[in-house]
Structure 1
Amino acid sequence: MYVDTNARYFKPRGVPLEHLDIIRLTFEELEAIRLKDLIGLEQTEASEKMGVSQPTFHRILKEARNKVSDALVNSKAIEIFGGDYEMGNNQFRCINCGHFWETDADSEEDSIRCPKCNGTNVKNINSCIHNCEGKKSNKI
């Protein structure tokens, strides 16, 4: 799992954090949202990536979505904090065919080829979490 270390809190603009109720979102809840909603994986593949059963993944995702919805609708801050997680490998998605894969290789995007279609139009998903310009973000 990759998280931008500079973004631990999200809050409504113009309201001091001390005046807001805070919703606590775990890293595993954030990862569930990232895999399902941002990357667009099916629940089966997302649950495998997280190493949990499909029912457990569904519960984590449902709780995460409820928390984010509560924060957005009721003007609350979101704090992203610990949880049960481990760091992942480099994760890529092919722009041409949509294939998603992980690799231990520490290569630049321009040298990576899609294992499904052999295309070179790939994006490092890790760097796109908070910065879709292709620049590397901080990883923890």
Structure 2
Amino acid sequence: MKQPEQITLDSDEFEALRLVDLLKMQQQHAAIQIGVSRQTLANVLKSARFKLMDCLTHGKALLMKNAPEEKL
């Protein structure tokens, strides 16, 4: 059986998705927490969301690159 194509989600993309989409944080606040501009955060989110939808739509494997440990 053929292995699915793999897409790697970088740790900054994961963190941006977590803060904005999971925790419902405003982009401006999430950008401050990560230490980037709001526009940079928006670009990271766009990339992460594209990768996620590419995997869901085309059955590709999503890999996490250096995923941060969950903060308690």
How far apart in 2 are the matches of 1:22 and 1:73?
A: 13
The question of 1:32 aligning with 2:16 is answered: yes
How far apart in 2 are the matches of 1:78 and 1:44?
A: 27
Give unmatched runs, 5+ long, in structure 2.
none
Residue of structure 1 in register with 2:31 after alignment:
47
TM-score (norm 2): 0.89
Residue of structure 2 in register with 1:21 after alignment:
5
How far apart in 1 are the matches of 2:7 and 2:45?
A: 15
State the structure with bigger RCO (CA 8 A, min sep 6), 1 or 2: 2
Shift of 1:82: 3.4
Query: 1 or 2, which has the higher helix percentage?
Result: 2
Structure (1 or 2) with the larger CA radius of gyration: 1
The question of 1:78 aligning with 2:66 is answered: no
Read off the aligned partner of 1:126 and give its amino acid letter: K
Number of positions where the alignment pairs a residue of Structure 1 with one of Structure 2: 72
TM-score (norm 1): 0.47
Aligned-residue CA RMSD (Å): 2.3
SS, match of residue 40 in structure 1: coil
Identity of aligned pairs, percent?
A: 33
Shift of 1:51: 0.2
